[in-house]
Amino acid sequence: MRKVIQKVLNILAKKSIEKEFPEAVQDVRDYAKKSGTTGTQWITLWMSVRKIKKYKPAWILESGTGSSTLVLAATVAHLRKIHPNYDGKIISMESMEEWYESAIKNLPEKYNDIVEIVYGPREKYEMSMFRGYIHSNIPQKDYSFILIDGPAFQDEQGISFCADLFKIMEFTKSNVIHGVSDGRASSVWVIQQIYGKKFVRYWHSVFAASFSLPKINAMEATLNTPKHFQTMPNGSLEFIKFRKNKISDN
């Protein structure tokens, strides 16, 4: 049943994108043929298009380059056309040299002014009780949107999570990060542990999650268990330090 719902939602999402950006859907087809990319779900792409149109981020970080880059770029190009003051840019990070070379070769020239593809081999990222992987070499920009679709988060110790979202919180001046995660349940689980479920939901039939998160420093040296954890009447423990954060800006 889950797979049927997911398939239908993907068809609807693709139709919605095709209606808005017919050229982008053709570009994705061409790109997939040339690069052999695993691609991103249409559901995830549609969630991203909607968020980008709503919040008009000046800097977008894409974690995991590929056909998705073309849909993000088409959205930014559209916004630039209708809002002359908007000058959105995309930094697209790729952790594997082979896929980086392929992406550089296959990115349509019309997006050269919007997208910069950066090679950043994955590196470990430790954050409070969590361990994950980030792309190295992320240019320090004021990101306010992220599409999480990389890097690989499995290693000899098992699964970790994709941590670029928290890496960019170290330097972006934006107080809120909007974003979407394609699959990557462990990454969404970490977000839920820190912010609570109200900030991000992961539906089984969607295999994706959309969020808007106030910037935090999850590595604060003052964090401690008596003060920042709460015991619930049913005996469960919740890490509550960042649960009360509100979205106050952009």
Joined tokens for residue 231: 């015991």
Confirm if 125 and 107 have CB atoms less than 8 A apart.
no
Distance CA 40, CA 43 (A): 8
CA–CA–CA angle 226, 229, 232 (5° rounding): 115
Size of the site for ligand SAM (CB under 6 A): 16
Q: How far is the CB of 150 from ligand SAM (least distance, A)?
A: 4
Q: How far is the CB of 201 from ligand SAM (least distance, A)?
A: 21
CB of 135 or CB of 241, closer to ligand SAM: 135
Question: Residue from 9, 25, 91, 149 that binds ligand SAM (CB under 6 A)?
Answer: 149
Q: How far is the CB of 196 from ligand SAM (least distance, A)?
A: 27
Contacts 24+ apart (CB under 8 A), 223-230: 223/128
Site string for ligand SAM, 150-169 (x = CB under 6 A): x-------------------
CB of 145 or CB of 242, closer to ligand SAM: 145
Candidates 32-40, 124-132, 211-219, 222-230: pick the segment binding ligand SAM (CB under 6 A). 32-40
Site string for ligand SAM, 34-53 (x = CB under 6 A): --xxxxx-------------
Distance CA 100, CA 138 (A): 14
CB of 96 or CB of 213, closer to ligand SAM: 96
Q: Does 68 bind ligand SAM (CB under 6 A)?
A: yes
Find the residue with minimal CB distance to ligand SAM: 66
Confirm if 164 and 134 have CB atoms less than 8 A apart.
yes
Q: How far is the CB of 203 from ligand SAM (least distance, A)?
A: 19
Distance CA 218, CA 81 (A): 38
Confirm if 214 and 176 have CB atoms less than 8 A apart.
yes
Confirm if 150 and 135 have CB atoms less than 8 A apart.
yes
Site for ligand SAM in 85-114 (CB under 6 A): 94-96, 99
Q: How far is the CB of 37 from ligand SAM (least distance, A)?
A: 4
Q: Which residues pair with 229 in a beta bridge?
A: 239
Joined tokens for residue 250: 């952009």
CB of 27 or CB of 149, closer to ligand SAM: 149
Q: How far is the CB of 158 from ligand SAM (least distance, A)?
A: 19
Torsions phi, psi of 202, nearest 5?
A: -120, 110
CA–CA–CA angle 60, 61, 62 (5° rounding): 115
Q: How far is the CB of 39 from ligand SAM (least distance, A)?
A: 5
Other beta carbons within 10 angstroms of residue 201's beta carbon come to 12
State the residues that interact with ligand SAM by CB under 6 A.
36-40, 64-68, 94-96, 99, 149-150
